Structures are given as structure tokens and as C-alpha cells.
Amino acid sequence: MALLTGCSLLQNRAGFFFMVTLYISITSMSSLGWFITDRRLKWREWAASLYGAPALFVSTQTCDLVLLRMLPTLCMAVVTYPMIGLHATNAAFLTFVVILLLTAAIATTLNFIYRCVVALHSQRAHRARRARASSISNECFFFLC
């Protein structure tokens, strides 16, 4: 088996970095559905004054970011870094890990912002539909009277 040198080595490693960052970015999208499915429960708990919005934000981001994004990313970095044959220095490994962790944090934060915007938009659309439905029912009621 011939050793890879020059351009092919660079292409292989660049492809590895691309695939790792793509994998991390795509896996962070799994947090999109949580806010939509648990929205009613969170609104009910918030209306009952069980906790406030900052507590919900901090707990959600902490659990989602640290347990579901950072820990698996760190485990993947520890396993894949020596397998690829990258520099065996601590500084290079820490740079690799920090870049992957920042990628996971940014992707998760962008997904959190996106799901908040979608939830806000769907809430406004629901209010508008409800207002139209009530105005139509009022018009029908007055028409029948």
C-alpha cells in the first residue's frame, strides 16, 4: 500500500474535516422538534408559575448543548483523531477539539434561534386563525339573528 503524499493527503484530510463538521451540524438539527412537541407542556408549566422563561432557556440549553452535543463530539474527536493520523501533539489535538466543540455550539444555537422564530411565527398564525374564526362565527350568529 503506497503512502499518501502531497495533494491526495491534503484532499483526504480536508474531506475528513468537512465530513466531521457536516456530521456535527446535521446531528444538531435533532433538537428542532423538541420545542414544537413540548410547547404546550412548557406553556402550561410557565402559566402555572412553576418556573420562568430564563430558567427554561438555561436548563434547555445546558442539557441540549452539554449532554447531547458537546459530550458526543468530544468522544468522536478522541476516537477519530488518532485514526486519521493527524499531528500527535497536544496543541494540535486541542485545536481540533475546540474547533469541533465550537461548531457544535454554534450549530445548536442557530437551531435554537430557528425553532424559537418558528414557534413565534406559528403562535401568531394560530392567533390570527382563531381571530378570523371567531369573527366569522360572530358574523354568522348576527346574520341568523
Domain positions in the chain are 17-144
Query: What confidence category does residue 127 fall into, taking pLDDT thresholds of 50, 70 and 90?
Result: low
Residue 17 grid coordinates: 474535516
CB atoms within 10 A of CB 65: 19
Alpha carbon distance 63, 125 (integer Å): 30
CB 77 within 8 A of CB 69: no
CB atoms within 10 A of CB 74: 14
- Percent of the chain predicted with pLDDT > 70: 72
Residue 137 has pLDDT above 70, yes or no: no
Question: Which candidate, 78, 123, 127, places its Cα nearest to that of 101?
Answer: 78
Q: What is the pLDDT of residues 102-122, one digit of tens each?
A: 998 888 888 877 777 776 666
Question: Which candidate, 69, 72, 78, places its Cα nearest to that of 97?
Answer: 78
Q: In the chain, count H helices and then E strands.
A: 6, 0
Query: What is the predicted pLDDT for the residue at 119?
Result: 66
